[in-house]
Amino acid sequence: MTSLPDPIDLATALIRAESVTPARGAVFDVLEAALLPLGFVVERFVEGEAPDGPVENLLAVRGGSARHLAFAGHVDVVPAGEGWSVSPWSGEVRGGLLYGRGAVDMKGAVAAFVTAAATTPGAVSLIITGDEEGPATYGTPRLIERMRDRGVAPDLCLVGEPTSVARLGDTVKIGRRGSVNMTIDVPGRQGHVAYPHLADNPIPRLVQALAAVDAVVLDDGNAWFQPSNIEVTDLHVGNPAANVIPAKASARLSIRFNDEQSGAALAERIAAIVHAHAPGAIVTPRISGEAFLTPPGAFSALVSDAIGEHTGLVPDLSTTGGTSDARFLSRLCPTVEFGLVNATMHQTDEAVAVDDLRALAAIYAGVITRACA
């Protein structure tokens, strides 16, 4: 393997291409221009309609070895927000840090992998979406469909999410918990508080249902996952008057669950509890993704070896954190996640250490070499 080019230039160009989710256009132009000279066949496509789209995706494939490594990531970012000390789209380097929305999550990792692929041979593909930070309706799931249509079947998949906690290389994700969000709407009948017999107050039924849901202990966790948890995240009545019994009361809850549960079973269980206290309630679940685990083995070992070669660290294998697109990709092949230090992702003045970005490119090159051997 020859010396790697510097990933800073590509990372800067990606940051300067503003791409709040769902992303299209300029940021994909930058990425495509970087990939074509490296021997990749690049396919871009746009799918979906508002409110979840339209979304642009990119699939880039290069042959060259018997074993095929896929790198998955996203170039869409969350809104910048206010209070930055630099322009969030400047890609400014100051004090050894590269600033900009997406520097950590995860344009930096995309740039690092492209840099690694520039001088490291092997069968490699990039699965890049413009909709990871949003609902992901037209993002990675549609890329997976396109891969099946094209006969692209990776043996291993590395997702470049920012998994490191205190130092680059200290954590690799080998799984993630699943997620179910649910809304509960309890109907009643509006009326004057002085004449309760002429009305039907939905609030007590909703409160009773939520108390019963809150008392549920789903599991105690296991060797790789923390316990599943249910959190009530919103209560809403919207009653503008103090002397009116409302016609409806609503709530939202979110469940993060491990591999002892399934989204559908949880939705059914919660609905049954709610209906026991509020028979007329409408319970609407949205399953964002199922839990997955890639048991420690050859793939996590080769990623750990590449990390150790360049940092001297032995990474923790973890399943903590929120969901990622690995929840979809894990259905294709063994999937792990590794990327930059996540301390500033989604924050004001998001920034990555330039030394970390260069080290990440070297680690990714080591992963390609080991995976495609």
Q: Active-site positions?
A: 76, 132
State how beta strands 156-159 and 335-337 pair: parallel
Backbone phi, then psi, for 72, in 5-degree steps?
-115, 140
DSSP-derived secondary structure for 165-229 = SSSTTSEEE-EE-EEEEEEEEEE-B-EETT-GGGSB--HHHHHHHHHHHHT-------SS-PPPE
Reading phi first (left if > 0) and then psi (alpha if -120 to 50, else beta), residue 141 is in alpha
Question: For residues 90 and 99, is the Cβ–Cβ distance under 8 A?
Answer: yes
- For the chain, how are helix, strand and coil distributed in percent, rounded to 5? 30, 25, 45
Which has the closest alpha carbon to 339: 57, 89, 49, 111?
A: 111
State how beta strands 97-99 and 282-289 pair: unpaired
State both tokens at 217. Answer: 């202990």
